[in-house]
Amino acid sequence: MQPNSPAKPLLWSTLAAQFSEQIALAAGPIAVVVMLGGGATDTGFVQMVQTLPFLLLSLPVGVLVDRLSRRRLMIWAEVLRGATLGLIMLALATNLLTVPLLAALGFVGTVGTLIFSVAAPALLPMIVRPAELPVVNRWLELARSAAFVAGPPLGGALVGWTGASLAFLVAMSASIGSLLLVSRLPEPVAIARPRRHFLQEVVEGCRFVAGDSLLLPIAATASLFNVGWFILQAVFVVFLINHLGADAAMVGLVFGVYGIGMIAGAFLAKPLAQYLPLGVLIAVGPLGGFIGSLLVLTSVAVPSLPLIGLAFFCFGFGPILWTINTTSLRQVITPQPMLGRVSALLTLATSGARPIGAGIGLLIASLSGPEACLTASAFCFLLQLLIIVVSPAARLRDLPAPV
C-alpha cells in the first residue's frame, strides 16, 4: 500500500475496531463467570444474543449503506459501540451489571460492529482504484488477523489482572481511536439513484446475488464453511480436553496456531498472486477448510495435538486467502449503488450461518457424541469445496474489469 493511500486511515481504523471487538468478546464471557457468578448457560445466552444482529439486521443495514454516506455510517457505528462499552463500564462501577443487561448492551454494540463490517468493504472501492483492491484487502485482513491473535489474550489477561472494567476501557479507547481515524477518510462523491421501497431494494440485492454466476457460489460456499466450522466449534474444546487430554493452555495454543495461519496467509497473499491464477487462490480457502476438517477427524483414530495444530493452521491460512480474493472480486463485479446490499448478503451468509452450525452441532452431539459432530463438520467442508471447484469462480485467471 502506498504511504499516501487514501485507504490508510481505513486500515488503521479497522485494526482499532477489530481490537475493540476482540477484547470485548473475550472480556464479556469471563466477566459473566468471574464477576457475575454465571455458568455455561449464561455465557451461551450472552454469546447467542450478541450474534443475533448479524442474522436479523444484515439486509436492512445493507440497504442503509447503499442509501446513506458510508463514511458517516462507520462513524456512527463506532459511536454506538463506544457508547455501549462505556455503559457496561458504568454498570460495573455501580454494581448494576447483570447477565441480561450485558447481553442487551452486547446486542446494541454488535449492531455497530455489523454496520462497520458492511460499510467498510462498500466504501473501499469508492476511494481506491480497482487495481489496488487486492493489496488493500490483504492489509485489511492482516490487521484483522493481528487483532484476532492479540485481542482475546489481552482481554482475558486484563480481566484476570485488574477486573473487567479495564478491559472494557481499553476496548472503548480502541473504538474511539477507530472513530477518529474514520473521520479522516475522504467523503466520496455520492451516486444519485432513485429511492424506492425498502423491501424492493432488499429483493433487488438478493436477485443480483442469486443471478450472478460468481457471487452465488461464493455465498453458498461461505455459508457451508461457517456451518461446518461452528458444528466443529460446538464440541471442539470438549473433544480436545476429553479425547486428547489437553489442558487450558494447550487449547489456547491451538487457537494461537489458527491465528498464525491467518497471518501467514495474509503475508503470502501477494507473492502467491504473482504465480497462481485468481481462481486457484479462491479455491485454496475451501480446500484449507476441508484438509483441516480431515486432520481433526483423523485425530479421533490417531490422537495427536500436533495434528490438531496443523489442522488449525490450515483453517487459518486458506480462508484468509479466500477472504482477500473474494472480497476484491465482489468489489469489482458489483455496481457501486449495490455494494452495501451485496456486502450485507455475504455477511448474512457467513455470520448468519454461525448459530445454525452451532445448533446443529449441539443436536448431533446430544444424540451421537462429539465424534459424529466432527464427521458432520467434515461433510460440510467437503460440500463447500465441491461447490466452489465446479463454479466459474475457480476458473478465473485475473480480476474481471470493474462494472
User: What is the CB neighbour count within 10 angstroms for residue 281?
Assistant: 22
The tens digit of pLDDT for each residue in 210-250 reads: 999 999 999 999 999 999 998 887 777 777 777 777 765 67
Give 3-state DSSP helix, strand, coil % of the chain, rounded to 5: 85, 0, 15
- Range with the largest mean pLDDT of 43-57, 139-153, 271-285: 271-285
What percent of the chain shows pLDDT beyond 70?
95
As a whole number of angstroms, the distance between CA 228 and CA 376 comes to: 7
Model pTM score: 0.81
The tens digit of pLDDT for each residue in 277-322 reads: 999 999 999 999 999 999 999 988 888 888 999 999 999 999 999 9
| Alpha-carbon torsion, ordered 39, 40, 45, 50, to 10 deg | 110
**What is the pLDDT confidence band of residue 401, given thresholds at 50, 70 and 90?**
confident
Q: What is the pLDDT of residue 194?
A: 64
The tens digit of pLDDT for each residue in 173-215 reads: 999 999 999 988 887 766 656 667 777 888 888 899 999 999 9
**What is the pLDDT confidence band of residue 19, given thresholds at 50, 70 and 90?**
confident
Domains and CATH numbers, the chain: 8-190 (1.20.1250.20), 204-395 (1.20.1250.20)
On whether the CB atoms of residues 11 and 177 are closer than 8 A, the answer is: no
As a whole number of angstroms, the distance between CA 16 and CA 86 comes to: 16
Has residue 379 got a pLDDT over 70?
Answer: yes
Higher per-residue pLDDT: 391 or 70: 391
Q: What is the pLDDT of residue 294?
A: 96
On whether the CB atoms of residues 119 and 77 are closer than 8 A, the answer is: yes
